[in-house]
Amino acid sequence: MGFYLSHFSQEATPILLSMHITTIGPAGTVIPRNVLTFPKPRLRHLHLSDCRVPWGAVSEVDGRLPFSNLSSLCLTRPIPRPSPHLLMRILISSLDLSFLDLYHSIPDHLGQLDATVYPAVRPASRPLTLSEITSG
């Protein structure tokens, strides 16, 4: 898997609609930083399972995350878990999010977020289906 990910685009991927990265084994494949860095304006489905994720590579460009139009997000045992701030930014920026599955993925200290920074109600264009939501 790492070999293929090493050839992932080093620039924006404007036609990418879905990204599903799953590894088998306890160590997990390291996702190269560039996979999460550059804009993916049409990405609708993101599924990361049992991977080593460089969450620090996910940064805003012009006030937007590289993937801010998700309709489904599935995180399964990412190493490490995303920070509370980043997870909230992803959820807030994905107004069309209709499916959320966080299995052993909820960040530590999620309850300590400053409520004044994040809106209490997320404006949504459709109902959100919550699947497995566990902290593990």
**Residue among 106, 98, 86 nearest 122 (CA):** 98
In this structure, is the dihedral angle defined by the CA atoms of residues 95, 74, 82 and 43, taken in order, positive or negative? negative
Q: What is the pLDDT of residue 31?
A: 92
The stretches of the chain forming alpha helices (DSSP H) are 2-5, 33-37, 84-93
Partnered with residue 130 across adjacent β-strands are 100
Domain assignments of the chain as residue spans, ordered by start: 107-136
End-to-end CA distance of the chain: 26
Extract the residue ranges of the chain whose pLDDT is less than 70.
Answer: 1-2, 25-27, 110-136
Write down the pTM of the prediction. Answer: 0.83
Cα(84)–Cα(111) distance, integer angstroms: 9
Contact residues for 106 (Cβ-Cβ < 8 A; gap 6+): 81, 87, 133, 134, 135, 136
pLDDT in tens, 24-51: 866 678 899 989 988 999 999 999 999 9
Query: Phi first, then psi: what are they for 20, rounded to 5°?
Result: -130, 110
Q: What is the pLDDT of residue 16?
A: 95
Rg (CA), the chain: 14
